[in-house]
Structure 1
Amino acid sequence: MKKPSTGRRLARLGACAAAAGLVTVGAVATPALADGDQLWVTASPWQLVLPKASDTGPQPAPTTLNLSLSHDNPANQVVDGLLTVDVSGLAGIAEVTWPENCAPAGTTAVCSVPEVPATGNDSPLKVAVKVRAAVGAAVGASGRISYRATATTTTGEQLTAGENWTDVRVASGPDLSVAPLAPATGVTPGATVPVPVSAVNNGDRPVNGVRVTYYVTRGLTLGGLAPQCVGAPAGNDEGPIHPVTKVDCAYDDVVQPGGTFTLPSPVTATVAAYGLQERVDVGVQPLDGAEDLQPEDNGALKAVTVTNTADFAVRGARLTAAAGETVTAEVTFRNRGPAWVANLGSGDPVGRVDVTVPRGATATAVPDACEPRTADGGWWEGEVRTGAPRYVCNLPIWVAEKQTVTLPFRLRVDTVVTGAKGAVVLGPPYGTEPLPFDPNPANDRARIVLNPAA
C-alpha cells in the first residue's frame, strides 16, 4: 500500500537523481483530514538484492534497509513510535543484524522511535537493519521482511501503519555504492568547492570499468575532469533540461569485491556570479554493461547553497478603455538578479503571481499558466477559465537572472469605473512566507489600473 501522491510534479535531473528508492506504507491510502492523522513507514531501498555469500572467502558487506516513521498532520506531535519488524521470511536466505534501537526476540524485533516527524521532514532516527545473504543461499533465492508500526499523538490518539514488506533476493554481480557528498553552505559567488567521488564494490563480482555521470546546474562549472569526459545539455523523454549539463566520464579501473573506486584527480565545482541553490547529481555504474545489484545506492547529491540574492519584481498596467472595449493588460514578472532561481528537484514553480481583475471588467482571455479563483482565493466553480474575478499564475520552475515573464490578460470593460484597481501580488509557490532570496519585497506588489483619474 503506497502513500498517495502530493500532486506536485517531480523533476528528475537524470537517472542518478533516483539515488534512493522509497516505499511508503500505511493503514489506508487516503489523505489525512484536517483534524486527523495517519502514520506511515518508509523503506529505503524499496527492495533488497543481496550479493551471494562466499562459501570459503571473505563475505560481501551487508546491505542496509533503512526504515523510518512519519505522520501526515504537522499540527500533531507524535511520540512513542514502535516499529515491529518480522524477518521470519528470511529463513535460510539471509542473516540480519539489528541496530541498537531494536529489541529482538527470535525472528521479530520491536524498534523504538521516540519522536515521529511530520511527512516531508527528514526522520531524525532511522531503523537501520543490516542484511547479508546466508552462506549456502543460492542465486535466485528470495524472501521477505515484513513491518508494521504504531505511535501515539500527545492528545492520546493511537496511530497505526498497516503491515507491508520489502522483498529480498540473492544475486551475483557487482554492486557499486557511492559515498555521500557533504553539502556546501554559505558559499560565495566565484568560490570553488570539492566534489569528491568514490564508490565501494559491495558485490561478489569485480567491476570492469566505471562510468561516472554528473548532472550539473547552470550556476556551477566543473573543473579537474579527465580528458575523456564529455559534456552535453541534459535531457529526458520530455526533451532537454536546459539549465542542467550532463557530463559522462569513463574509467577502465577494475574494482574487485570490497574494493574502492576513486577519481584519478580531484573534481571541483566553481560558482558563477549568478549561482544560488546549486547541485551536482553524481551517478556511477559498471562500464561493461553488467547489471548493478542495488542501483538505488549508485547516486549521490552535492548541494551547494550560495550566499546570493534574486530580486523578484512585478509590474502591472495602466489602461484606458470605453465601455464595451477590450484591452490587454500585460502583467510582467522580472527577476532582477543577480542570481538565477530554480526548483529542479521538486519541479515546483519559482513563485506565483496573484492577479485580481479590476472592478467593472471581465477577463476574456488569460494565460495558460493562470488558474481562476474566487474573489477570496477559493476554487473557481465556473465551467470556463475566463470571467473569474481573480487568477493565480504559476511561474516557470526556473528563471535566469534578468529574465522576464509576461502574463497578458484580455480585459473587457463592461462598466467604466474611474480608477478601478486590480492587485498584482508576487508570492512563493505554496504558502504565504516571503521568498527567502528576495531582498526587496516592496516591488513584489503592483496594480492594474483601468481608466485612471485625470
Structure 2
Amino acid sequence: MSTSSVVRAAARFGVCAAAAGLVTVGMSAPAVAASDTLWIQAPYESVLPKAADGGQGPATTLGLGLYHDNADYTVTDGRLTVDVSGLTGVADVTWPANCAPTGTTAVCSIPEVPTNSATQVQLQVRAAAGADIDVTGKITYQATATTTMGGELRSPEGFETTVRIASGPDLVLTGPAPVEGVMPGASVPVPFSVVNNGNEPAQGVQVTLYVTRGLRLDGLAPQCTSTPIGEGAIKPVTKVDCAFDDVVQPGGSFTLPQPLQATVASYALNERIDIGVAPSGGEDISPGDNGTVAGIEAVNTADFAVRGARVSGAAGETVQAALTFRNRGPAWIANLGSGDPVGHIDFIVPKGATVTGVPENCSGRTLQGDWYEGTTGAPRYVCDLPIWVAEKQTVTFPFQLRIDTVIARSTGEVTLKPPYGDGFAFDPIAANNTAKLVLNPAV
C-alpha cells in the first residue's frame, strides 16, 4: 500500500467519520460585515430510526451552534432561529432550555459566540409515530448576533438539516478522551463502548482498529487479526479486524470481551488509534457516528537535522550535490491524520550555478518564495519530506548543478522548516536545522 493509501485508511473511521457528522456550509459573507462572518454549525443530514408501531422512535441529539471568523472582535447575544415546520409528520422535536419556542419555530440564545466551531444547542429529534421509511423533512436555520465592530452580524442564507426516516441498526461509538504526558513503556487503557440507537438488532459487530507503530495493543480477543500496512521494512500502521457474533438489540450495548490496553514504545510521540464499528450482515442507518480517534501523546523528542554539501567543479561542469535530512530520534514522527509532510527543506541555490537535475518531491520557487514556472533553473527549491519518518531515518535529495561561473566559496542556504508555523515543538536542537551548500570551497 502506498503512503497516501495508509493515510486514507487511517483516517477512514476517525477523521472522515467526524467530518460526516458535522459540516459547515461555506458561502460568501453578507454585505453587513465584510470583516467578519457569523456561521451556523449544524449537521447536513440526520437519519432517524423508524418509530415502533404505536409509539415514537428513539431520540437523536443534533448539536447546533454559532461561531464567527474574526478574533479581533467580540460577538455576543447570538440568536439562532430554528424552524422545524418542515418536520411535520416526519419527526418530533424536544427543545432545550436555552430555546424559546413559538409554534414550529424557536429562538435559541447563545450569549457569547466563539471563533471556533462549538455545540451550544442540543436539539432532540425522534421519528414521529406513523412516519414511513425514507420520508424526509428539513430543519432550516438563521442567526443574528451583536459585534463590537458595530452593528449586527447576520448569518448567510441556506443552512439546513435534512432529516430522513430509516429502519435498521444504528451503532453509536463512544471512545476514550485524548491522553497526554505518557512516558514510553507505560500502558494506557483504551476503553470504548457501542450502543445500538436503531430500531432493529445488529446481528453481530465488526470492530476495525488502525494503530500507529508507536503503540502495541494488548488484550486483543481471539476474534481479532492484525495486519501491518505500508511499504518497506517499517510499517507505520497496523490494521486490526475483529468480528464478534454478539447480537445487540435496540437500546442495547456492546463492549470488548476484555479491556484493551496500549503499550507505548520507546520511539512513540504523537500516536493514535482510529476505531470504527459496523453491524455485521447489514448497513448502519447512520454511520457518521461509527468512528473515533483515540489520541495518545508520549513524552519524547525527535532531533531533526539537515546536512548540506561541499563540492567543486570547473566552469561548464555539472556536479552532484546531495542535501540530507536525518531524524536523529529517539521518536519517530508521523502526520498520518493530516497527510502533511513532516517538514520541508528550503534550498537557496548558490550564485554562479544553475540547477539542471531536480530530485523527486522538490519544486522550484522564485528567490522570494513564490511559485516558479518550470522544473530546472530556479533560484530556490522546496523539497517535501515524507508524511512519516522513523527514528534514525535518513532522506537524501540529490541535486545536479551546472557551474556557470566559478565563484570562490559560493554558498547556498539549506533550511529545515515545519509544514506550518515556525519551528518543531518536538525538536530539542534547533541549531542543526540549517546548513550550507558550498561550491568551490578551496578556490
Correspondence 1:15 to 2:15: no
CA displacement at 1:150 relative to structure 2: 3.5
Select the residue among 392, 407, 411 that pairs with 1:421.
411
The one-letter amino acid paired with 2:258 is S
The 5 A counterparts of 1:14-413 are 15-17=12-14, 18-20=16-18, 21=20, 22-28=22-28, 36-44=35-43, 46-56=44-54, 59-73=56-70, 77-118=74-115, 121-123=116-118, 125-156=119-150, 158=153, 160-234=155-229, 242-287=235-280, 289-380=281-372, 382=373, 384-413=374-403
Unmatched tracts of structure 2, length 5 or more: 1-5
Which amino acid in the other structure matches residue 141 of structure 2? Y
DSSP-derived class of the 2:247 partner: strand
**Cα deviation, residue 414, structure 1:** 1.1
Q: Distance between the aligned counterparts of 1:265 and 1:207, measured in 2?
A: 20
* Equivalent residues of 1:334, 1:404 under 8 A apart: yes
- AA aligned opposite 1:439: P
**Distance in 1 (alpha carbons) for counterparts of 2:65 and 2:289:** 17
* CA-based RMSD: 2.6
- Could you tell me how far 1:209 is from its partner in structure 2? 1.0
Q: 1:304 to 1:347 in 2, by over 3 A?
A: same
Q: Which structure 1 residue ranges, 5 or more long, are not aligned?
A: 1-8
> TM-score scaled by structure 2?
0.91
Partners of 1:224 and 1:389 lie apart in 2 by 55
CA offsets 1:110-161 (integer angstroms, 9 cap, x no match): 233344444xx453x4322211111121222211111233445432373532
Quote the Cα distance in structure 2 between the aligned partners of 1:63 and 1:426: 48
In structure 2, give the amino acid aligned to 1:436. Answer: A
1:330–1:155 CA distance, 2 compared to 1 (3 A): same
Distance 1:77 1:312 in 2: 40
Give 1:411 shift: 1.1
For residues 27 and 448 of structure 1, the distance between their equivalents in structure 2, rounded to whole angstroms, comes to: 47
Q: CA deviation at 1:440?
A: 0.6
Q: Are residues 245 and 378 of structure 1, via their aligned partners in 2, closer, same or farther at CA, if it must alter by over 3 Å?
A: same
Q: Could you tell me how far 1:377 is from its partner in structure 2?
A: 1.9
Task: Give the conservation status (yes or no) of the 8 Å contact 2:306–2:415.
Answer: yes
**Structure 2 Cα separation of the partners of residues 371 and 89 of structure 1:** 52
| 1:16 counterpart SS class | coil
Aligned 8 A contact 1:153 1:159 in 2: no
Distance 2:242 2:157 in 1: 44
- In 1, Cα distance between equivalents of 2:210 and 2:434: 36
Distance of 1:239 and 1:337 partners within structure 2: 19
- 2:206/2:243 contact within 8 Å kept: yes
Q: Is the 8 A contact 1:150 1:161 kept in 2?
A: no
1:11 offset after TM fit, Å? 4.1
Distance in 2, matches of 1:114 and 1:404, equals 53
AA in 1 matched with 2:143: A
Which is worse superposed, 126-135 or 220-229?
126-135
What is the CA-CA distance between 1:78 and the residue it aligns to?
4.3
Compute the displacement of 1:15 (Å): 3.3
Residue 29 of structure 2 contacts residue 37 of structure 2 at CA under 8 Å; is this kept in 1? Answer: no
Q: What amino acid is aligned across from residue 372 of structure 1 in structure 2?
A: G
CA distance in 1: counterparts of 2:378 and 2:331, whole angstroms: 34
1:3 match: none
Q: 1:329 to 1:209 in 2, by over 3 A?
A: same
% identity of equivalent residues? 61
Q: Deviations over 1:163-198 (max 9, x none)?
A: 221111111111110113211110111111111121
Residue number in structure 2 paired with 1:5 = none
Q: Distance in 1 between matches of 2:137 and 2:286?
A: 16
Task: Give 3-state SS (helix, strand or coil) of 1:406's partner.
Answer: strand
